[in-house]
Structure formats: C-alpha cells, structure tokens
Amino acid sequence: MEWNTPEKPAEIAETRLIEAILSGHFPINTNLPGERELASQLGVTRPTLREALQRLARDGWVEINQGRPTRVCNYWQEGNLAVLAAVARRQDSLPRAFVSNLLAVRTLLAPAYTRAAFENDPDCLMAVLSSYPDLPDDAEAFAQADWELHHQLTVCSGNPVFTLILNGFEDLYPAMGRRYFQHPAARQASRRFYLGLLGCLQAGDPAQAESVAEEAMQVAADLWASMEKG
C-alpha cells in the first residue's frame, strides 16, 4: 500500500523559508522579520512558524536567539548534510561552482569507498558490474548506470555514512549525469572506468581498484570543467 501523507504546515513553511534564503530574499547574515510579520507573510500561525524555525535552526539555516531577531546563517559554513541535500534538490538555482565542488569531493571519496567495497563484498560488485560492458551508448543509460554503481559501491563498502552522503544527491545526480553523458568523451571515459573495475574484480586487486577510481573521478571532474567552459 502506498501512503500519501500531506505536508504539514510547518514543513510547508520550512520549505518556503529555505527557498527564500537560497534565492537571496533573506540574505546570509541578515535578520528575518519579526515573528508576527513573518507568520503573516507565510500564512501560518505563530506556533507553526516557531516549529519551522526550530527545524531550520537544527540544520544550520538560521540562528534563534532568545529576545533577539532570528539570524540567517551562512549555511555554507554553519549548515549540515541536510543543507547540502536541500541545495542539490533545487537544480534551477544551483550556485555556479556547486557541481564542480561536488565532483571534487567525489574525487576524494570514491577511491576510498571503492577500495572498501572491493575488500568487503566483491561478489556483490561482480553481480552489478558484469552487465556494464554491454551498456547502450546513450546518456540516459549511462546516467542511471553510473548512479547505481556508485550507490552500490557505497553500500558494499560496509560504511553507511558513504551511502548517506551520496543519497543526499539522489535527485541531482541523474539529472547532471544525463547532461554530462550527452558527450561521447564522457561515455567513453566511464566505459573505461567500468571495464577497469571489472578487471580489478577479476584480479582480486582492491588497491588497483582504488587507483582506477581515483583516475576516473579526476577525468570526470576535468571533463565537466571543460564542458562548463565550452
């Protein structure tokens, strides 16, 4: 059975405030309007607004000070993974360098979770990778396959924190992947990556798999940068 639970007023207010902060309507390090005015703007009760603000404060969007105005935080420096996921979900308003920065982080993380996956659960990876040499040469297939591979690598690594970090980009990753894999060079580079991992699996060489992943992630970051310039 599929349950369709309507959003609560506090969740709606929270979403609207996040959008207002990200759009610059409420700039970083400025104060939000007073409680009565802000509740009126949002069309919610003051208790509902307080609940929404508490949720935002928990994730690092705002700072609530008793007896003083609520400050909009520098969420890039004071926020947590929930902020990162919220930014990633708003693909139409991503900061210009966001994807490049994300790829730089992936370049650091992917070699680690790849090696851990090869050491922890190589049989599971073989079941996934065995079909990758036959991927259709189109952007949609590659975008989906790439997401599934990285997700499976994090799961097989045995470290759920890797998976939680990656899951924060579940909406953004395929969309950016379709854009990236429109380019034949990107598909060719990733096909080499998949075949390289398959070879490492067959050789039972986690250390080489780590090196293959590191090189492939750097190639992907460089290709994305050149696409952005072009």
What confidence score (pLDDT) does residue 2 get? 59
Q: Phi first, then psi: give them for residue 217, nearest 5 degrees.
A: -70, -35
Which CATH class, in words, describes the domain spanning 9-79? mainly alpha
Task: For residues 89-103, give the mean pLDDT.
Answer: 84
Question: Domain 94-229 in CATH: superfamily?
Answer: GntR ligand-binding domain-like (1.20.120.530)
Res 3 pLDDT > 70: no
CB 187 within 8 A of CB 151: no
Res 7 pLDDT > 80: no
pLDDT band at 174 (very low <50, low <70, confident <90, very high): confident
Task: Classify 70 as helix, strand or coil.
Answer: coil
Instruction: Give Cβ neighbours of residue 22 (< 8 Å, ≥ 6 apart).
Output: 86, 87, 90, 93
Task: For residues 18-25, give the mean pLDDT.
Answer: 93
pLDDT digit string (tens) for 38-89? 999 999 999 999 999 999 999 999 999 888 999 999 999 999 988 988 888 8
Work out the mean pLDDT of the chain and round it to a whole number.
93
Q: Which amino acid is at 152?
A: Q
The ranges assigned to domains in the chain are: 9-79, 94-229
For 2-16, give one letter per residue: b (16+ CB within 10 A) or e: eeeeeeebbebbbeb
pLDDT digit string (tens) for 147-167? 999 999 999 999 999 999 999
pLDDT digit string (tens) for 186-223? 999 999 999 999 999 999 999 999 999 999 999 999 99
Instruction: Give Cβ neighbours of residue 43 (< 8 Å, ≥ 6 apart).
Output: none
